[in-house]
Amino acid sequence: MKSMLKLMVIILFFFLLACTTGNTSNLTVHDTTVNTFLEPCPKTPNCVSSMEPEVDKHYIPPLLYTGEKKLAYQKLEAIIEADSRGRIISKQENYLKAEFTSMIFGFVDDVEFLFSPALSTIEVRSASRVGYYDFGVNRRRIEDIRKRWAKNQSQ
């Protein structure tokens, strides 16, 4: 009886997983004549962004840099490429998009970086592609990148 219940739970898990797979359609830099911005986070708790209001639960501070944007861009690329679960998907002059894959189930999270050279900031957005709750994975990822960024900036 217990083994049958376990089997049913496993089947239900994979069925629900299959129903939620797919690409996120709201990950794109928007460019207007006034400014450039990342999409806002959805209402679900599986996203963080530096472009949300500071009082919002999705808010996370942007990365800061000094010196040339070109060097900051190269340092950020190196940090992402050093992560075994991260890979760069798209590079533009002031924008970088990466995917990070979870170790166990292979869930993909989309991470975006938008450089604002006039402010020496890098806006960030990290969002789960599937599911509702991420157990804080996206926030921890950006904070880990921030730690490696700070270490890299002091060198």
Region 2-31: what's the mean pLDDT?
Answer: 52
Q: pLDDT value at position 73?
A: 97
Residue 16 lies in a domain: no
Among 99, 62, 63, 105, CA closest to 84: 99
Region 82-87: what's the mean pLDDT?
Answer: 95
Six token digits for residue 69? 């944007």
Residue 94 lies in a domain: yes
Residue 8 lies in a domain: no
- State phi, psi for 109 to the nearest 5 degrees: -115, 140
Distance of CA 154 to the CA centre of its chain: 24
Q: In this predicted model, which residue has the larger pLDDT, 15 or 104? A: 104
Residue 104 lies in a domain: yes
Residue 37 lies in a domain: yes
Residue 1 lies in a domain: no
Residue 12 lies in a domain: no
- Given a contact cutoff of 8 angstroms between Cβ atoms, the answer to whether 13 and 102 are in contact is no
Asked if residue 32 has pLDDT above 50, the reply is no
According to DSSP, the residues that pair with 109 across neighbouring strands are 100, 128
- Given a contact cutoff of 8 angstroms between Cβ atoms, the answer to whether 47 and 39 are in contact is no
Over the stretch 37-82, which tens digit does the pLDDT of each residue have?
A: 899 999 999 999 999 999 999 999 999 999 999 999 999 999 999 9
**Looking at residue 102, which CATH number applies to its domain?**
3.30.310
pLDDT tier, 21 (very low <50, low <70, confident <90, very high otherwise): very low
Distances in Å between the Cα of 113 and the Cα atoms of 6, 38, 120 are 42, 9, 13
Element (H, E) at 10: helix 2-20
Asked if residue 15 has pLDDT above 90, the reply is no
Asked if residue 124 has pLDDT above 50, the reply is yes
Residue 17 lies in a domain: no
The span from the CA of 138 to the CA of 48, in Å, is 7
The span from the CA of 46 to the CA of 68, in Å, is 32
Q: pLDDT value at position 63?
A: 97
pTM of the predicted structure, to 2 decimals? 0.78
Task: Tell me which residue has tokens 């679900």.
Answer: 44
Domain count of the chain?
Answer: 1
- Given a contact cutoff of 8 angstroms between Cβ atoms, the answer to whether 73 and 115 are in contact is yes
Q: Could you tell me the residue range of the domain that residue 120 belongs to?
A: 25-153
Torsional sign, CA 63, 24, 92, 51: negative
Mean confidence (pLDDT) of the chain: 84
